[in-house]
């Protein structure tokens, strides 16, 4: 207990959505993300999705994709989407990592995990979040030949 | 994108930073510019100035997204002191 009387640990709202957002040029550590997973006993569905850079853009072969982001707005728009997810589905946790800069073919540019009581809401929320991200979050990509 | 601090009608002139993202930076040749407009101007007025100064931007009006700060806004939005505008093409995350 701190001298001011407050407990010295994070205070969370009961039943509130746990959120983690990483926007970074660092490679996505999928194994590390999975290892850090936490879920309560009421959760029965863990859905995670990795978006990987393809070797073609249309009919053209590419080596990589270079991602650019308007960081401050992207974080705000992701927060709004997480708010909406919390309203629509009984999701316990959402974790999303988006890589920036040059991402080589075969490497992950996006990693998303949704934890929910049942697979229906987890799959629906995952699909919805990816679609909305592609509509409103200011991230752009440029193929690298 | 220059001018006096007061317009001929007596209305103050305000400066608005405009940021360009993705290939818009290539079309303008810069990541940002400052647009001077009479107080009360809208995003549409700002776009007219941007297109006048950067003619290549004029052809992109159908694929243009507009944000003020971190929120999307329409062309009728009336600019406020301190606003920062961002112009960019459709987003493509993932």
Is there a contact between B67 and A138 if contact means CB atoms under 8 Å apart?
yes
How far apart, in whole angstroms, are the C-alpha atoms of residue B68 and residue A50?
31
Domain range for residue A104?
18-144
Residue A82 lies in a domain: yes
Structural domains of chain A, count:
1
Tokens 């490679």 sit at which residue? A27
The CATH number of the domain holding residue B43 is 3.10.20.30
- Judge whether residue A130 has pLDDT over 90: yes
Residue B30 lies in a domain: yes
Beta-strand runs (E) in A7-120: 18-24, 45-52, 56-57, 60-61, 64-69, 93-99, 101-104, 108-116
Closest CA to B38 of B7, B16, B81, B8: B7
Residue A98 lies in a domain: yes
Residue A34 lies in a domain: yes
Residue B92 lies in a domain: no
Residue A9 lies in a domain: no
Residue A81 lies in a domain: yes
SS3 call for A56? strand
Tokens 């029965």 sit at which residue? A44
Q: Are B93 and B70 in contact (CB under 8 A)?
A: no
Across A36-50, average pLDDT: 96
Structural domains of chain B, count:
1
Tokens 């400052």 sit at which residue? B34
How far apart, in whole angstroms, are the C-alpha atoms of residue A23 and residue A3?
36
The CATH number of the domain holding residue A58 is 3.90.1170.40
Q: Note the pLDDT of residue B62.
A: 83
Residue A3 lies in a domain: no
Distance from CA of A85 to the nearest CA of B (A): 18
Q: Are A69 and A143 in contact (CB under 8 A)?
A: no
Q: Note the pLDDT of residue B61.
A: 83
Residue A114 lies in a domain: yes
- The pair of structure tokens assigned to B23 is 């290939």
Q: Note the pLDDT of residue A82.
A: 97
Domain range for residue B68?
13-85
How far apart, in whole angstroms, are the C-alpha atoms of residue A61 and residue A52?
15
Residue B90 lies in a domain: no
Is there a contact between A73 and B92 if contact means CB atoms under 8 Å apart?
no
- The tens-digit pLDDT sequence of chain B (94 residues) is 544 477 767 788 999 999 999 999 999 999 999 999 999 999 999 999 999 999 999 988 889 999 999 999 999 999 999 999 999 999 998 8
Residue A5 lies in a domain: no
- The pair of structure tokens assigned to A17 is 């959505």
Contact residues on chain A for B67, CB-CB shorter than 8 A: 70, 73, 138
């Amino acid at each position: 207990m701190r001298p001011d009387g407050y407990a010295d640990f994070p205070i969370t709202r009961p039943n509130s959505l746990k959120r983690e957002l990483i926007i970074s040029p660092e490679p996505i550590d999928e194994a590390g993300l999975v290892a850090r997973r936490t879920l309560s006993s009421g959760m029965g569905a863990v859905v995670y999705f990795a978006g990987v850079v393809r070797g073609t853009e249309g009919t053209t072969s590419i080596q990589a994709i270079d991602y650019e982001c308007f960081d401050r707005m992207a974080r705000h728009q992701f927060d709004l989407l997480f708010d909406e997810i919390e309203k629509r589905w009984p999701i316990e946790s959402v974790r999303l990592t988006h890589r920036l800069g040059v991402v080589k073919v075969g490497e992950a540019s996006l990693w998303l995990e949704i934890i929910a009581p049942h697979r229906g809401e987890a799959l629906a929320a995952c699909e919805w979040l990816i679609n909305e991200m592609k509509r409103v979050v200011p991230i752009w990509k440029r193929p690298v030949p | 994108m220059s001018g006096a601090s007061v317009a001929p009608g007596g209305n103050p002139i305000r400066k608005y930073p405009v940021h360009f993202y993705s290939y818009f930076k290539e079309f303008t040749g810069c990541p940002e510019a400052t647009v001077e407009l009479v107080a009360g101007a809208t995003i549409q007025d700002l776009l007219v100035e941007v297109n006048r100064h950067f003619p290549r931007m004029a052809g992109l009006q159908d694929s243009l997204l507009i944000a003020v700060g971190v929120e999307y806004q329409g062309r009728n939005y009336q600019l406020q002191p301190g606003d920062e505008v961002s112009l960019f093409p459709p987003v493509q995350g993932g």
